[in-house]
């Protein structure tokens, strides 16, 4: 089967079939889905080698990930990667996983191993974005930056954390405090800013990145009178909640309250559940890939801010609030 055969069978032009396959150019979503469904039903797969040669493309896009220890601890990157892979596959592209370092990104870009890059996290003092801006390589950032000309997609982390903090401090009694992850992560700083918008000069302990440092941060804040613990991500809140309920912290779990500024499958297993900000990491990755492939195809693409959901379960009725 060739593109011509698909076009004849569906009564559309070859250009329409081609646009459905690549995702480039104008095509109605219903028409694209009709073409893809027909191809799937007849087990037709485009010749990606021929496509790459004719377009002078690799048909690969890079997705940057952090170091292995951080990746295994944070489901966020895995969910983003799965979302990006699904969108890339639908447009006949493959994902090349690359370390989120300047050196590794420079290597794949200068060797032309990919047609574009999805940067999964922007770090303080990183030179990666500045380098990419000097090239003709299309790229999209999952996160935010003040650098002009960078295509980016993110949730409004500061607003989301501000909203959860405001909601909980109206319900909870006791002094609030924040256990935060690495200070070098811009997303961690944005979440801490959202907390401070409401909690003012409430104490914050930074660089809680593993169990020992998280436990130490908890005891430091507890010793300073904190009884309402806000955790910057799911790793931190999971450790705190688990250690509280196992008794390893030496403090009764009912004597403090815990909330998380990021939700994940890790926290879904906790009973009772902690209040969370929920971001759709799968959709974040899928939309980032869609934006990148559109940019590769020469389309104009705007920055995107995705919605978030506040979920609070405590002695009062369930509160679920979605913000767009």
Query: How far is residue 258's CA from residue 211's CA, in Å, rounded to a whole number?
Result: 16
> Quick one: 265 and 166 in the same domain?
yes
DSSP letters for 131-180: HHHTSS--EEEES--SSTT--EEEE-HHHHHHHHHHHHHTT--SEEEEE-
> Quick one: 163 and 239 in the same domain?
yes
Q: Residue 141 to residues 46, 73, 111, 180, 287: CA-CA distances in angstroms?
A: 29, 21, 21, 22, 11
> Quick one: 161 and 254 in the same domain?
yes
> Quick one: 271 and 284 in the same domain?
no
> Quick one: 235 and 189 in the same domain?
yes
For residue 36, what are its two tokens?
A: 């893809």
Question: Looking at residue 4, what is its pLDDT?
Answer: 81
* Residue 53 binned pLDDT confidence (cut-offs 50, 70, 90): very low
Question: Looking at residue 318, what is its pLDDT?
Answer: 42
> Quick one: 238 and 268 in the same domain?
yes
The highest-confidence range among 26-30, 244-248, 257-261, by mean pLDDT, is 257-261
Residue for token digits 């507890």?
Answer: 222
Closest CA to 144 of 161, 160, 165, 158: 158
DSSP letters for 247-259: TTTSS-GGGSEEE
What mean pLDDT do residues 188-204 have?
97
Residue 322 has pLDDT above 70, yes or no: no
> Quick one: 124 and 217 in the same domain?
no
Q: Which residue has better confidence, 215 or 92?
A: 215
> Quick one: 125 and 177 in the same domain?
no
CATH number of the domain enclosing 40: 1.10.260.40
> Quick one: 274 and 164 in the same domain?
yes
Q: What is the pLDDT of residues 20-48, one digit of tens each?
A: 876 666 788 888 888 888 888 887 766 55
CATH number of the domain enclosing 214: 3.40.50.2300
Question: Looking at residue 70, what is its pLDDT?
Answer: 54
> Quick one: 20 and 37 in the same domain?
yes
Residue 311 has pLDDT above 80, yes or no: yes
Residues forming beta bridges with residue 64, ordered by sequence position: 98
Task: Return the ∠ at Cα 88 (arms to 57 and 30), rounded to 5°.
Answer: 110
* Residue 135 binned pLDDT confidence (cut-offs 50, 70, 90): very high
> Quick one: 30 and 147 in the same domain?
no
Overall domain count for the chain: 3
> Quick one: 17 and 76 in the same domain?
no
Contacts 24+ apart (CB under 8 A), 105-112: 105/62, 105/64, 105/131, 105/132, 106/131, 108/62, 109/62, 109/135, 109/137, 112/58
- Domain extent for 270: 157-279+311-323
Q: What is the pLDDT of residues 78-104, one digit of tens each?
A: 899 999 999 999 888 999 999 988 999
Question: Looking at residue 69, what is its pLDDT?
Answer: 55
Q: Residue 118 to residues 77, 122, 138: CA-CA distances in angstroms?
A: 12, 11, 9
């Amino acid at each position: 089967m060739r593109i011509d055969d698909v076009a004849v069978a569906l009564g559309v032009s070859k250009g329409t079939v081609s646009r459905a396959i690549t995702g480039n150019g104008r095509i109605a979503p219903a028409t694209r889905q009709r073409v893809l469904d027909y191809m799937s039903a007849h087990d037709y797969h485009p010749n990606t080698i021929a496509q790459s040669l004719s377009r002078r493309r690799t048909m690969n896009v890079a997705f940057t990930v952090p170091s292995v220890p951080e990746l295994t601890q944070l489901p966020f990157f895995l969910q983003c990667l799965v979302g990006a892979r699904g969108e890339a596959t639908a447009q006949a592209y493959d994902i090349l996983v690359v370390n989120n370092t300047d050196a590794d990104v420079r290597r794949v870009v200068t060797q032309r191993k990919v047609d574009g890059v999805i940067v999964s996290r922007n770090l303080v003092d990183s030179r990666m974005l500045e380098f990419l801006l000097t090239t003709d390589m299309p790229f999209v950032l999952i996160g935010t930056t003040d650098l002009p000309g960078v295509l980016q997609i993110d949730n409004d982390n500061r607003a989301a954390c501000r909203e959860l903090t405001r909601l909980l401090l109206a319900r909870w009694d006791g002094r609030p405090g924040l256990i935060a992850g690495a200070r070098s992560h811009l997303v961690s700083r944005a979440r801490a800013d959202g907390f401070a918008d409401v909690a003012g000069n409430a104490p914050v302990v930074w660089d809680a990145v593993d169990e020992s440092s998280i436990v130490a941060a908890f005891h430091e804040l507890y010793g300073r009178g904190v009884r309402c613990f806000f955790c910057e991500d799911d790793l931190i809140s999971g450790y705190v909640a688990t250690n509280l309920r196992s008794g390893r912290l030496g403090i009764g779990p009912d004597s403090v309250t815990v909330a998380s500024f990021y939700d994940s499958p890790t926290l879904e297993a906790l009973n009772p559940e902690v209040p969370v900000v929920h971001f759709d990491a799968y959709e974040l990755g899928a939309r980032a890939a869609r934006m990148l492939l559109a940019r590769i195809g020469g389309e104009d693409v705007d920055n995107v801010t995705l919605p978030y959901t506040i979920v609070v379960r405590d002695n009062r009725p369930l509160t679920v609030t979605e913000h767009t």
